Structure 1
Amino acid sequence: MKQRWLSVLFIWMLLMALLSGCGHGAGQQQPVAEDYTVTDSQGHPLQLTHKPQRIVSLTLGTDEIITGLVPANRIAALTHLAEDASISNIVEQAGTVPHKIRAEAETVIALNPDLVLVADWLPADLPQTLRDAGIPVYVYKTPHTIKEVEQTITVIAQVVGEAEQGRQLVRTMEEKLAEVRRKLDPVQAGQEKVVAKLTAAGATGGKDSTFADICEQARTVSAAVKAGLGPYDMMTKEQLVASRPDVLLLPTWDYQGKANQETSRTDIMSDPGLQSVPAVQTDRLEVIPERYLSCTSQYIVFGVEGVAKAAYPDYMNTK
C-alpha cells in the first residue's frame, strides 16, 4: 500500500513539473534560460533575456555583419545603403528584409525592435532617445583595421546570441588572408608596390584608415600613408605625384552616384601633370569595387585580395 502511494505521489509531482513548464499563456514570449548581459563600447550595460528577434541595424557595416550571423526573419530593418549594389555586399540578402531605413529615432521606434545596433560615430542623442523609449541599444566601436573588424564581428555575434557563427565568419576571413599571404610570399621587404585610392575629391587612405590596413595586408603601401597623411586627409595633386604610385585605383562610387571609371581614366591619362607617375606610364589604372575597399565587415578581405591582384597580378594568378 505504501509503495503504491509513493508511486502516485511521484506521478503527481512529475505532472506538476510538466505543467509548470507550460505556465505561460499561448503567444507569450518565454525568456530563454541563458539570460545574458553585454556592455557596449560606451559603457552602457544591456541585459537580454532572449536572442533578439527584431534586430535593426543603422550602419552598412552592421548590415553586412548581421546578415552573416542571423537569418533574415530575425532582422526588422537594414539601412537604405544595403540595397546599393555599388557600395553594398548584401543586395540580395537585403531584398529579403522588410524595411530599409535611415538612422532616425522615430522610424526605428515604430518598428518595435528588440535590439538596435548603433555605430559610435552616429549622433549621441540617437541611442539615448531609443533607450528612453525602452528599446535595447548596443553602440559598437567603429573598426579601423581588419583585426578590429574581426573583433567587432565577435562582439556583435555575442550580442545576438550567435557566438559560434561569429567565430566561423572570422575563420573564413583568416583563411582568405592566409591564402593571399601565401601567394605574396615572394614579395621582398622594401619592394612593396605603392597604391593610391582615388575618389572624386582626391586620393585618400592615410595612416590608421581601413584602406591603409588593406594595403598592408596586401603587401603594398598606401600612397596617402607614404605622403604622411591621416585617415581622413585628401592628397593634393602634388602629393600624389610625389608619392609615385605604381597603381591607381579609380573611383567606383560616390554619394551622388556619378562616379564614371572611363571618364576618370581619360582625365588621368591625358593630364600633363600626371605623366611622371609610374602608374600612368605603365597604364596601371585599376578598378576594385568600392564595396570591398570601404566596408567594415567580413567582406573587407576581398578588398585585400583585390589590391593584391592589382599590384601583383603574376603572383596572385598562381594556384
Structure 2
Amino acid sequence: MDSSSLVIIKYLLLYSEWGNVKRVVNLTLAVVLVVGTVGAVTGVGGPVGAATAQETPECGFPITETDATGESVTVEGPPETVVTLNPSGAQILWEIGAKEKVTGVTKHAMNLEGAEERTNISNAGQTISHEIVVDLAPDLVIVPLSRVATEEDVETLRDAGLTVFAYSTANSIDEVRERTLLTGQLVDECEGAVETVEWMDKQLDIVADAVEDKERPDVLYTFFGFTAGEQTHIHDILEAAGGNNVAADAGIEEYQPVNEEVVLAEDPDWIVLNSNSPEIPEGEGFEQTTAVQEGQTIVLDINHINRPGPRIVYAVQELAEAFHPEAYAEAVEAAESTPTPTGEQPEDDETPASDTEPTESADDDGAGFGVVVLLGGLLGVSLLGLGRKARHTGDK
C-alpha cells in the first residue's frame, strides 16, 4: 500500500471536524499498520487479563534495548527529563507515575491534567518541531511511531545528539502491556509500570469473569465510515468486553471502510461510536440494523478507545457494562467484596473530554490538521467505565 492510503486511514482515525460522515463511495483501501515486535497478541475472546503473567521488570542503568527502528538504544542513567512525541506515550508516563519528568508533549496530549504546563512540541500543523525538542534537551525522547512521529523525526533528533527510543504501533492489549512495562524500565519507574499493568489485568479479569460463557452480541465499531477489524487493539477491546466484532467476521483486517451492504448483512446488535464521530452514519443499511432499531448504540471517549494506552481498560469496562449489565455488575460486586493487597486508588486527574479541542486529533498516532482538504483532492467523495483510578494521581 502506498503512503497516501496510509495517511488517509490515519487521518480518518483522528479527526472530528466532519460532523455527519457519509458512506464511502468507490473506495477500496487496505490498511497495513506497523505491528509491534514486542509482546504476543492476546487470544481473542479469552480472559485477557489472565493471559499474560508478567515478570516484574527491574530498573537498572545503563539499560540497552532495541527499538522499532532496529536501533540498539542505551539509556545511561535514570532520565530526569523526558519528551514524548505522541499522546499514547504521554498517557503511559502519566499512568506509571512519571509525569513530573515530562517536559514536552504534543498538543494532542492536552487532555492529561497538567499537560498544559509542559512545552507544546507541535508545530502549527500536525508535525513535530525538532527545534523545540532539541532546545528542551531531554535525557530521553519516547516516540510511538505514527504518521506524525516518524522514523525521519527519530533520525533527525538522534542526529542532534538526543537519546530517542521508538515504539511500533500497539495493535493489541498485550502490546499495550509490554509497552507500559518497557517504558517503566526506560524512565526508572518500574514499580509504577508494574502496578499499572496489574491494575489493567485486575480490571480485565473482572470483565472476563463477567462475560465468560455469555452469549456475545454482534458489535460494529464505526468512525468516519471506517471500522476496525482483526490485528487492531480496538478488535481486542470489543472482544474482551464480551462482544463479537462483526468486522472480523466480514474478513476485515486492520482499518478499512465499511459499506452499507456489509452492515446490513452482519446486522450488528450494537454499534459503537467515539466522541469525535458520535453520529450513526446515514443510510438505510445502518437504519435497518438491530442496533439502531433497538437503540443499542454507545459513544465512547475517543481517548479511551482509539489511543492504545492503559486507559483502553475504560472502554472495555464501559462496553461490558452495556453488553452484559447484570453479569458485569455481579462480577464487580464480587471483586469489591474480595480483599486485595493493593488497596490504593488515587483520584481521577484527566481533563474532561469536552476540554479537548474538537478540531484537533484526540487519538494517538495523530495525523494532520487540514485533512479535509487533502481527502477532498485524493478521494473526490464525502466519507462516511468502573473507572480506573491511577496509581499516583489517577487518570481517566
Q: Same fold (TM over 0.5)?
A: yes
Note closer, same or farther for the CA distance 1:71–1:210 as it changes in structure 2 (3 Å cut).
closer
Q: Which runs of 5+ in 1 are unaligned?
A: 1-32, 85-89, 254-258
Q: Which runs of 4+ in 1 moved over 6 A?
A: none
Q: Matched residues in 2 for 1:184 and 1:273: separation?
A: 29
Counterpart selection for 1:314 from 326, 334, 341? 326
Q: Which residue of the partner structure matches residue 150 of structure 1?
A: 177
* Identical aligned residues as a percent: 26
Q: Which residue of the partner structure matches residue 139 of structure 2?
A: 114
Q: Which residue of the partner structure matches residue 56 of structure 1?
A: 83
Native 8 Å contact 2:227 2:255 kept in 1: yes
Q: Which residue of the partner structure matches residue 46 of structure 1?
A: 73
Q: Which residue of the partner structure matches residue 198 of structure 1?
A: 222
Counterpart selection for 2:244 from 203, 208, 221? 221
Deviations 1:6-59 (A, max 9, x none): xxxxxxxxxxxxxxxxxxxxxxxxxxx943333323332222232111100011
Q: Which residue of the partner structure matches residue 29 of structure 1?
A: none
Q: Which runs of 5+ in 2 are unaligned?
A: 1-59, 123-127, 334-396
* SS class of match (1:317): helix
Deviations 1:246-284 (A, max 9, x none): 00123311xxxxx4x4xx25x75xx54434311122111
The code of the aligned residue for 1:115 comes to: L
Note closer, same or farther for the CA distance 1:250–1:186 as it changes in structure 2 (3 Å cut).
same
Native 8 Å contact 1:211 1:222 kept in 2: no
Q: Which residue of the partner structure matches residue 118 of structure 2?
A: 98
Q: Matched residues in 1 for 2:192 and 2:286: separation?
A: 47
Q: Matched residues in 1 for 2:67 and 2:220: separation?
A: 35
Deviations 1:98-121 (A, max 9, x none): 212222322211211111011233
Q: Which has the greater radius of gyration?
A: 1
Q: Which residue of the partner structure matches residue 8 of structure 1?
A: none
Give TM-score scaled by structure 1 length: 0.77
Q: Matched residues in 2 for 1:139 and 1:168: separation?
A: 23
Q: Matched residues in 1 for 2:315 and 2:136: separation?
A: 34
Deviations 1:202-260 (A, max 9, x none): 1411111111111121121122112211212111111111111000123311xxxxx4x
Give TM-score scaled by structure 2 length: 0.63
Map 1:2-41 to 2 at 5 A. Answer: 34-41=61-68
The code of the aligned residue for 2:216 comes to: E
Note closer, same or farther for the CA distance 1:155–1:71 as it changes in structure 2 (3 Å cut).
closer
Native 8 Å contact 1:292 1:301 kept in 2: yes
Q: Matched residues in 1 for 2:98 and 2:170: separation?
A: 24
Q: Matched residues in 2 for 1:119 and 1:274: separation?
A: 35
1:292 aligned onto 2:313: no
1:242 aligned onto 2:265: yes
Native 8 Å contact 1:203 1:240 kept in 2: no
* SS class of match (1:296): coil
Native 8 Å contact 2:139 2:162 kept in 1: yes
Native 8 Å contact 2:145 2:168 kept in 1: yes
More helix by share: 1
Q: Which residue of the partner structure matches residue 96 of structure 2?
A: 69
Q: Matched residues in 2 for 1:206 and 1:184: separation?
A: 21
Note closer, same or farther for the CA distance 1:251–1:164 as it changes in structure 2 (3 Å cut).
closer
Q: Matched residues in 1 for 2:264 and 2:285: separation?
A: 8
* SS class of match (2:247): helix
Structure having greater relative contact order (Cα 8 Å, sep ≥ 6) = 2
Native 8 Å contact 2:229 2:248 kept in 1: yes
How many residue pairs align between the two structures?
266
**CA RMSD of the aligned region, Å?**
2.1
Note closer, same or farther for the CA distance 1:251–1:153 as it changes in structure 2 (3 Å cut).
closer
1:186 deviates by 4.3
